[in-house]
């Protein structure tokens, strides 16, 4: 920041203080990655690579492994990853055990899920409309990621209601994770998912505690109410660190 920018910011802050307001920088994902010296990001439910591109644009230089099960979406992800060194892609869903599953592919593919939708989904966004069902391979992170014991790992999960299954297949790997990021619901767009409290209790039992929380989506019938939060969790006990 140059002198002119510093003076401009000082004047803005001074003006805001005069009406009782203050500029405060909130911590971000990239702050977490840099402070904890993360060198491997596991991007589960990558879609076309939005998360990976965002952290790279913000300065992350480490390795990324992205998982995406839907073939048409994976091709776009793969094309993006080829532009960046250290970004690997795997065409697969992630779950509790190796196998196969059926994924409900939606008009807006970010809402695609192995879980069936609740009645709320259609009210929430027209993009949740299921257009096809695709059979996909499922891997578990314990087996899909090699030589993770000496890495400083950050696990991001965006699987639309399948987060608990991803974690169940990563119990050994989680011992070496610095942090997690996942969506936790208040209202349910998918059937059979955990509640906000259940998610917090499950993660606390694994020694993960909230580090950052911010709103993702609001309720269509009540835009003042959030239905999902993105949460970063920090592990209090990490093997080998």
Kindly report the length of the chain. Answer: 241
Per-residue confidence (pLDDT) for residue 91, from 0 to 100? 98
Tokens representing 119?
């009645």
Bridge-based pairing of strands 87-90 and 153-157 is: unpaired
> Residue 160 region, left (φ>0) first, then alpha (ψ -120 to 50), else beta?
left
Helices (H) and strands (E) in the chain, counts: 9, 10
Per-residue pLDDT of the chain (241 residues; tens, 9 = 90+): 566 656 565 566 666 677 766 666 788 999 999 999 999 999 999 999 999 999 999 999 999 999 999 999 999 999 999 999 899 999 999 999 999 999 999 999 999 999 999 988 888 888 889 999 999 999 999 999 988 888 999 999 999 999 999 999 999 999 999 999 999 999 888 999 999 999 999 999 999 999 999 998 887 777 788 889 999 999 986 554 4
| Interatomic CA distance for residues 202 and 86, integer angstroms | 32
Q: What is the CATH number of domain 27-91+140-235?
A: 3.40.50.150
Per-residue confidence (pLDDT) for residue 11, from 0 to 100? 63
Per-residue confidence (pLDDT) for residue 105, from 0 to 100? 97
Q: Which of 67, 61, 69, 68 is nearest to 86 (CA)?
A: 61
| Interatomic CA distance for residues 150 and 132, integer angstroms | 41
| Interatomic CA distance for residues 34 and 128, integer angstroms | 35
Per-residue confidence (pLDDT) for residue 206, from 0 to 100? 95
Per-residue confidence (pLDDT) for residue 147, from 0 to 100? 83
> Hey, where are the domains in the chain?
27-91+140-235
Question: Helical H runs in the chain?
Answer: 3-18, 29-35, 50-57, 71-81, 119-124, 141-144, 163-168, 171-174, 196-205
Which residue has tokens 């990563």?
A: 170
| Interatomic CA distance for residues 35 and 6, integer angstroms | 25
Give the H/E segment covering residue 69: none
């Amino acid at each position: 920041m140059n002198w002119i920018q510093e003076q401009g910011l000082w004047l803005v802050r001074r003006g805001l203080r005069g009406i009782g307001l203050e500029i405060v920088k909130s911590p971000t994902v990239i702050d977490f990655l840099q402070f904890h010296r993360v060198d491997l990001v596991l991007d589960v439910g990558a879609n076309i690579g939005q998360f990976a591109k965002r952290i790279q644009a913000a300065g992350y230089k480490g390795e990324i492994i992205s998982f995406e099960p839907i073939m048409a979406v994976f091709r776009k992800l793969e094309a993006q990853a080829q532009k960046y060194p250290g970004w690997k892609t795997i065409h697969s869903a992630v779950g509790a055990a190796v196998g196969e599953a059926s994924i409900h592919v939606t008009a807006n593919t970010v809402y695609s899920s192995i879980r069936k939708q609740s009645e709320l989904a259609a009210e929430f966004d027209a993009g949740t409309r299921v257009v096809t069902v695709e059979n996909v391979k499922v891997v578990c992170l314990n087996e899909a990621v090699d030589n993770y014991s000496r890495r400083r790992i950050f696990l991001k999960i965006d699987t639309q209601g399948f987060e608990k299954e991803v974690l169940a297949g990563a119990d050994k790997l989680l011992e070496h994770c610095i942090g997690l990021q996942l969506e936790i619901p208040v209202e349910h767009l998918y059937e059979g998912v955990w509640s906000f409290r259940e998610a917090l209790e499950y993660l606390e039992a694994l020694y993960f505690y909230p580090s950052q929380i911010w709103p993702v989506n609001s309720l269509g019938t009540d835009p003042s109410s959030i239905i999902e939060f993105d949460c970063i969790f920090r592990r209090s006990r990490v093997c080998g660190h």
